[in-house]
Amino acid sequence: MKANEEFAAWLTGERSMPFGESGEHVTIRLIDFDDLEQNQYVVTQQYTFRAGKTEKRADLVLLINGMPLVLIEAKTPVNTSLTWLDGAVQVHEDYERNIPELFALMSGPE
């Protein structure tokens, strides 16, 4: 929970770093919420993520400024026995268990 709160603070411009003149702190904005056109958006198919020897490919991933923020596991509309729930289960039981690093962009003391 603490890591999520810290990452949210970085996303919303609540953190600064000494990158200014004479080491002055400047606000870091990972996403520009004031002018959304200043951000770079990429939707990629078959996003490959490796953690050690484990490799997984998500169907679709939305990256904003290079950060993977949304993962979508699509299911075929042709097979009516598969639903959105199958995709959610796959994300939880496969991706979250086998490559939890994909869901932990920042970590720190809890």
pLDDT digits over 99-109, tens only? 888 777 544 43
51 and 105 inside one domain: yes
23 and 58 inside one domain: no
Predicted pLDDT of residue 36: 94
47 and 79 inside one domain: yes
Give pTM, 2 decimals. Answer: 0.71
Query: In which domain, by residue range, is 26 found?
Result: 1-34
Indicate whether 28 pLDDT > 50. Answer: yes
30 and 48 inside one domain: no
* Number of independent structural domains in the chain: 2
Distance in angstroms (rounded) separating the CA atoms of residues 53 and 73: 22
76 and 94 inside one domain: yes
Contacts of 31 (CB under 8 A, 6+ apart): 11, 39, 64, 65
